[in-house]
Amino acid sequence: MDMKKLPSIFIILISLSIITNCATPQKAQSDEYGILGSAVSACSFAMIGVYGDTIPDTITASEFLTVCKNNAPKGYYSVLKKYPLDIQSKKSYYFLQVFDPDFKALILFDYSCTPKPDGLVLTNPGKYDLGNLDLYDPCKGKK
């Protein structure tokens, strides 16, 4: 092997290693976020199965997780219990907020009258007015 080419090969290998290592955590984060969205959807269906369209005024995140644990695939409960949650009853539906466990920033929100999460905050930075999430309530005026 030509010793003059060795530094160039070394630089190329380091560059490829850096690019590969940077892409992998981003892909893993994206996959987990997709699973989180699926977990929110599955648990929403579980909540509808338990409460129908009469959500108790006193509903808590703990109760949401219990319903999820008992009525949705186990993997979804495992994903959701990693995140701080806040839930608010809206009488016939609820509003769920999911926060980053380290930074406590909102990463996803969901109004339970729709099948999929309504606010994918993490993948759409700047899209939502986080101070006025009622703007995105698709359930207003329904039932």
Residue 23 has pLDDT above 70, yes or no: no
- What pLDDT, on the 0 to 100 scale, is given for residue 31? 83
pLDDT digits (tens, 9 = 90+) for 93-131: 999 999 999 999 999 999 999 999 999 999 998 999 999
pLDDT digits (tens, 9 = 90+) for 24-55: 455 556 788 999 999 999 999 999 999 998 99
Q: Where are the domains of the chain?
A: 8-136
Strands (E), 55-131: 85-89, 94-99, 106-111
Residue 21 has pLDDT above 70, yes or no: no
Q: pTM of the entire structure?
A: 0.79
| Separation CA 29–CA 35 (nearest Å) | 10
pLDDT tier for residue 3 given thresholds of 50, 70 and 90: low
Q: Nearest to residue 38, comparing CAs of 105, 90, 110, 91?
A: 110
Which percentage of the chain shows pLDDT scores above 70? 78
- What pLDDT, on the 0 to 100 scale, is given for residue 26? 58
Q: Nearest to residue 80, comparing CAs of 43, 49, 48, 121?
A: 43
Contact call for residues 40 and 117 (beta carbons, < 8 A): yes
The letter for the amino acid at 23 is A
